[in-house]
Structure formats: structure tokens, C-alpha cells
């Protein structure tokens, strides 16, 4: 049995709080049958560090992208995205998307949309899938994905917390949907209802470490080893064996990111 953490941020983990270091955290994940981790970018300034991490660990891949909350800092630049995405361990573009939670002004939304389109264009050019972050921007996210024909590149809505209506539209576009430790939280009953409806062949699991540690580690620093608890919850919700959930979500990851784990 093997799992994949389809979305984590190894470079953002507070290793001092864990009384550990990155090699040890990667080793613990491997001991817990996490065969692969995708370390996801949130800013271009992280790129050199992410490349070094990917070169250090053969079971870690990386992405390149600019989180929507960081997108106000510069104008869209496809050339930069293309250049950074050439590293052999870069398997995805993102995380990118739309996030209106902190700021919903027209200017803010416009810049995020421009950057989102730039990421989608690069993903289609390089035939690398998108990692999409969406928060309080359901309609605009789906409308852009349809208009830009994101299915040409492939994509995942990561750390999904929206409703079934949005999930269904994304599934109809051929997207994958990824769930984090949030589905283990007591107040996430509505989200667990969505999990039950998602076809297992379009579902991924993630930690989003160091954020959103699942029960029984809620409130602590998250790490890739804890993706087991996400898979376990999905297995329970969908009345499937843990072994099958591990096998299918790993296969889904391989299909989307064109990797052999």
C-alpha cells in the first residue's frame, strides 16, 4: 500500500516546532507509506529552494507558480513562468487561482484573473497540469476554467472546501478534486457530504502541510505522513477499503501529473 501527498509545502514547515528537520520528515513519511510528495510553490522567490529540495529527495516533485494572494506584487509574466517551469522536477503549474477572501475589490480580482490566465496558458503550452486554489470565487473560477479550456492541460482543485455544485462543474470539466485534513474536522459535515459524491477516480488526497493538520493532530504542525488520516477518512465515508483508496488516489496522481510512482 502506498499513498501520495499531492500538495504540501516542505519549505514552509517549522521544523523546530517539530523538533525535526526536512530529511527526517521525508523519512517518516516514507515509513508511513507515503511514496511521493508534491512540494507546491506559492511564490517565484521560492523556486531555487524548491529545486534544491527536489534534487535532494527522489520522491519529491515540485511546481512553479504564484499564489493568488501574492499576485498583486507584479504584473503577469508568462516568460518568467515558462523559464522557471523548465526544471526537470517541475511537474505542475501553480498554485494559482482566485481568492477573494481577504480582498474583493475590482482591481484585486482583475489582477488575479490576469495571473490565472497566464498560468493556464503556460500549463497548456508545456502540457503540465494546474494546481488551483479557489476561495470565495466559485463562479469566476469555473467561468475562467471553461473559457480557457483548462481541460487541455488538466487540473486539480486543491484543498477543496466548496459545495457540491462547484465540485460537479469541475468534475464535468475533467478536473480532479483534492481533499485535505479539513474533512476530519468536526465542523466539516457539509464537506464530508461532498466527499461521498466525488467519483473515486477523480479524487486526490493531500496534507497542505504545514497547514490544516488532520484529527488527531489538529492545531499542530502538519506533515506529509499525516496524509494517511485523510485517506482513512475518505475510505470510511465512501465505504471503501483503505488499500483501495491508497491505490486509486495514487493512480489518479500518476495520471494527472504524468508520473510513475
Could you tell me which of 77, 115, 95 has the C-alpha nearest to residue 107? 115
* Per-residue model confidence (pLDDT) at position 188: 98
For the record, the C-alpha cell of 139 comes out as 463562479
Contact call for residues 101 and 136 (beta carbons, < 8 A): yes
* Per-residue model confidence (pLDDT) at position 108: 81
**Separation between Cα atoms, residue 160 and residue 166, nearest integer Å:** 10
**Separation between Cα atoms, residue 130 and residue 156, nearest integer Å:** 6
* Per-residue model confidence (pLDDT) at position 74: 75
Consecutive H or E run containing 178: strand 176-179
The list of the chain residues with pLDDT below 50 reads: none
One-letter-per-residue 3-state SS of 229-257: HHHHHHHHHHCCCHHHHHHHHHHHHHHHH
Look-up of cell digits 493512480: 251
Written as one string, the DSSP assignment of 66-134 is: --GGGGGGS---HHHHHHHTTSTTEEEEEEEEEE-SS---HHHHHHHHHHHHHHHHHHHHHT--EEEEE
Amino acid at each position: 500500500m502506498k499513498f501520495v501527498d499531492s500538495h504540501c509545502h516542505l519549505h514552509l514547515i517549522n521544523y523546530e516546532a517539530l523538533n525535526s528537520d526536512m530529511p527526517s520528515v521525508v523519512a517518516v513519511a516514507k515509513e508511513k507509506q507515503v511514496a511521493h510528495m508534491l512540494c507546491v510553490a506559492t511564490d517565484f522567490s521560492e523556486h531555487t529552494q524548491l529545486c534544491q529540495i527536489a534534487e535532494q529527495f527522489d520522491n519529491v516533485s515540485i511546481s512553479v507558480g504564484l499564489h493568488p494572494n501574492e499576485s498583486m506584487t507584479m504584473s503577469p509574466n508568462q516568460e518568467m513562468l515558462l523559464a522557471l517551469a523548465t526544471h526537470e522536477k517541475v511537474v505542475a503549474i501553480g498554485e494559482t487561482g482566485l481568492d477573494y477572501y481577504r480582498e474583493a475589490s475590482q482591481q484585486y480580482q482583475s489582477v488575479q484573473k490576469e495571473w490565472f490566465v497566464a498560468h493556464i496558458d503556460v500549463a497548456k503550452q508545456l502540457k503540465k497540469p494546474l494546481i488551483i486554489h479557489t476561495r470565495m470565487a466559485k463562479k469566476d473560477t469555473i467561468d475562467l476554467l471553461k473559457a480557457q479550456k483548462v481541460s487541455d492541460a488538466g487540473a486539480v482543485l486543491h484543498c477543496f472546501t466548496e459545495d457540491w455544485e462547484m465540485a460537479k462543474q469541475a468534475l464535468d470539466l475533467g478536473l480532479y478534486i483534492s481533499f485535505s485534513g479539513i474533512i476530519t474536522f468536526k465542523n466539516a459535515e457539509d464537506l464530508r457530504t461532498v466527499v461521498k459524491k466525488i467519483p473515486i477516480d477523480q479524487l486526490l488526497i493531500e496534507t497542505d502541510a504545514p497547514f490544516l493538520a488532520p484529527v488527531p493532530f489538529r492545531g499542530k504542525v502538519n506533515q506529509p505522513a499525516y496524509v494517511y488520516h485523510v485517506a482513512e477518512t475518505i475510505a470510511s465515508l465512501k465505504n471503501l477499503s483503505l488499500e483501495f483508496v491508497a491505490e486509486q488516489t495514487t493512480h489518479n496522481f500518476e495520471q494527472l501529473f504524468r508520473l510513475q510512482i
